[in-house]
Amino acid sequence: MKKIVLASNNKHKIKEFKEILGVEILTLNDIGYFEEIEETGTTFLENALIKASTISEYLKQKGLNYDVLADDSGICCEALNGEPGIYSARYAGEHGNNKANRDKLISNLKDKDKTSYFICTIVLYSIDGSYEYKEGRTYGKIIEEELGDTSFGYDCIFLSDELGKTFGQASSEEKNSVSHRARALNEIKKII
């Protein structure tokens, strides 16, 4: 089975990548990479490329020949001109504070249109430095009450148009049938 390095240690992302791609995924822990990769891009694609190229260079230095997958994703709200966008994971200041991020988004959307979408850009970065990327989106609206599993980002306040429930309430199978990441991964799967 083909092995690909995923430029992440996020257990939720790893699970989704494995379930959808059906290839062996090596994480950053698996390859011994423990540094934080600074996301300095201004777009989802730029951030995914920063992660992918950084890990590809690390693999070359270690004499390992694996392709690298990297993604950047976030939630975008039309009434907030696309916020939080690329800052989704650190919207409230501290990286990865899901509750604070959700609270800030709900507060910023008070008395505004709640229409929003999740977006995911995934890069497949080859050993030779060439790459392909795919993008997926899924639409819904932000709700004020947290419903379902609260452990992953904005899932519990994102009411999916297609599912009629929050991603936090959805099973893995339901979420993987409509999610932004699943849509991008299904396109990447065609070229792996």
What pLDDT is recorded for position 165? 98
Distance CA 4, CA 105 (A): 34
Instruction: Specify the long-range contacts of residues 58-64, CB closer than 8 Å, at least 24 apart.
Output: 58/31, 58/33, 59/5, 59/31, 59/127, 60/127, 62/31, 62/32, 64/31
pLDDT confidence band for 192 (50 / 70 / 90): confident
**Which of 26-30, 76-80, 138-142, 172-176 bottoms out in mean pLDDT, i.e. has the lowest?**
172-176
pTM for this predicted structure? 0.92
pLDDT band at 12 (very low <50, low <70, confident <90, very high): confident
* Candidate list 67, 71, 72, 155, residue with the active-site label: 72
1 confidence band (pLDDT: 50, 70, 90):
low
Mean pLDDT across the chain: 95
**Domains contained in the chain, number:** 1
For the question of residue 111 being annotated catalytic, the response is no
State the residue range of the domain holding 120: 3-189
Q: Which helix (H) or strand (E) holds 175?
A: helix 172-178
Q: What does the pLDDT look like over 114-139, one tens digit per residue?
A: 999 999 999 999 999 999 999 999 99
Q: Each residue of 46-68: pLDDT tens digit?
A: 999 999 999 999 999 999 999 99
CA dihedral 114, 39, 120, 10 (to 10 degrees): -100
